[in-house]
Structure 1
Amino acid sequence: MAFYTDISVVYDDLFPVSPEQRAMLESLREDGGVRSVVDCGCGTGAQLMPFATAGLSCLGFDPDPSLVAIARRKLATYPKTRIEQGSFADLRRLSSFHSDLLLCLGNSLVHVPGEEAGRFLSAASAVLSPGGTLLLQTLNYQRLFRERVTELPLIRTRDGSVEFHRRYQWESERKVLFRTSLRLPAAGEPRVVRNEIVLHPLYPEELREMLAAAGFIEIRFFGDFARADFHPGSEALVCLARKA
């Protein structure tokens, strides 16, 4: 799709790894005895870098070929890292791969219906080694639905040359149309690339139940990557869970 081809070029500028996210990833690497990592919906591979540079076995996959191509170039010098194209929720490819840490970030999980999200969590549990960790991040749909939020904060590159506008149209508690427009610099008027997809909101307590049903314990919710307490007004839901 033209939208993903266009956004892939500016993806890292629009969605840089924050210092808080980097600190959490590095703490998991240093404190969790991690030897192998899977990133489901890896984008350009930025979140795998702290692990690849430390010599860990890394596997990332993403459905978009443009993002996969960038991730492969970025991580090409790390022989223990592999990037594949495919749906983030399809973990059947990992039947022979065992991981100590599984990442699912960037609000990826709500791109599939609830029952598929449940299957993904069960498959993630099967991929993880005993005691392995799942790091999951979505938006806080409890707040978004309660307030019927229709527009998310504008994202722009540091120099202001690229803008990413995001709007929600709520069809029901379980379905929201996610409309985006990407404004790119061009000769004359800026070029605008529009896209629309369906998202399937997940709410905190049902996510907790799904994780428990999938065999996860020590399920902890935070409001951000700095591990602030999660509360109904939190913008994000960051979850750490351990496989039993």
Structure 2
Amino acid sequence: MSALEYRADLYDVIHGRRQHDIPWYVELARHVGGRVLELGAGTGRTALPVARAGIAIDALDVAEEMRAQLRKALEGETEEVRGRVRVLSGDMTRFSLPDSYGLIQIPFRSFLHNTTQDQQRACLERCHAHLAPGGLLALDVFLPSEEYMAAFEGDYEGLFRMDDPYPLPTGGFLLLSEWNAYDRAAQNVRAVHRYELLAENGRITESLYQILDLAWLYPDDLERLLVAAGFAEITFYSDFTSQPVGPETRDVAVTARRV
């Protein structure tokens, strides 16, 4: 798992603009029907749209700060939406719940927080055990780009790359910069994020660093793991479309069925 968890109050500021994956997960939930289990649910970025679509969902996350942010977000939802969401505490490699599900989803690369093959296998085995016969697992990972990795290596090693500024809901904005260290043998990446919070007048009010450790997996790696965990009918999607995965793919989504 990551060395430091995301700051929950900044998570939606940074990742709230990511929207392109949400319709894919909502449509899957509609198609499968029944209560959904989401692992690594965080602040509810995908769980809440599923609930707003009329689908009951159990939102599991290991970090209390993230669960608290989700509970706070639920306060602004209708009574009907609040009634569809159960916020659960648990580690995706060790969870044990009384229910079985027709769909388990692990959005926004959360599966990659499992940085070892033992953790990856444990997570998939837990998913298999909690799916009803014929149930579906859906998750996504990033597709490593040699060009992107090269931008942090060689002469660029240790240099921070700055993202566009993010407006803060309280005024001012957030500057995010990062550098990544890639371990190609282990297929792990350590991302060091630097956050600078600025007031409206441009004065820095807070500065902090966070470290995020992630695995990276190619489609062949995922397929081997899924087959070993007892899944079949494995289908890959390029950037949440029906197109095949190719060199330009950024996000690899996958569905697999319990047999």
TM-score scaled by length of structure 1: 0.84
State the identity %: 22
Which residue of structure 2 lines up, in the alignment, with residue 48 of structure 1? 47
What letter corresponds to residue 176 of structure 1 in structure 2? V
Which residue of structure 1 lines up, in the alignment, with residue 102 of structure 2? 100
Please say if 1:83 is aligned against 2:87: yes
Quick check: 1:125–1:243 contact (8 Å CA) kept in 2?
yes
Which residue of structure 1 lines up, in the alignment, with residue 228 of structure 2? 213
Which residue of structure 1 lines up, in the alignment, with residue 137 of structure 2? 134
Please say if 1:222 is aligned against 2:237: yes
Instruction: Give 1:107 shift.
Output: 1.7
Structure 1 residue runs of 5 or longer lacking an equivalent are: none
Please say if 1:161 is aligned against 2:173: yes
- Once the two structures are superposed, residues 149-180 of structure 1 have per-residue CA deviations (whole angstroms, 9 ceiling, x without a partner) of 53778364257812332321123431322211
TM-score scaled by length of structure 2: 0.79
The alignment of Structure 1 onto Structure 2 pairs a total of residues equal to 238
- Once the two structures are superposed, residues 175-199 of structure 1 have per-residue CA deviations (whole angstroms, 9 ceiling, x without a partner) of 3222111222247225221012332
What letter corresponds to residue 25 of structure 1 in structure 2? Y
| Residue 158 to residue 217, structure 1, CA distance change in 2 (3 Å) | farther
Alignment RMSD (CA, Å): 2.8
- Once the two structures are superposed, residues 17-59 of structure 1 have per-residue CA deviations (whole angstroms, 9 ceiling, x without a partner) of 6453222123113222x21111111010121123323443321
CA distance in 2 between counterparts of 1:155 and 1:218 reads 40
Structure 2 residue runs of 5 or longer lacking an equivalent are: 153-159
- The correspondence of residues 1-244 of structure 1 with structure 2, limited to 5 A, is 4=5, 7-16=7-16, 18-32=18-32, 34-75=33-74, 77=79, 78-91=82-95, 93-94=96-97, 96-112=98-114, 113-141=116-144, 143-144=145-146, 147-150=149-152, 154=163, 156-157=165-166, 161-174=173-186, 175-186=188-199, 188-244=203-259
Quick check: 2:29–2:55 contact (8 Å CA) kept in 1?
no
Which residue of structure 1 lines up, in the alignment, with residue 156 of structure 2? none
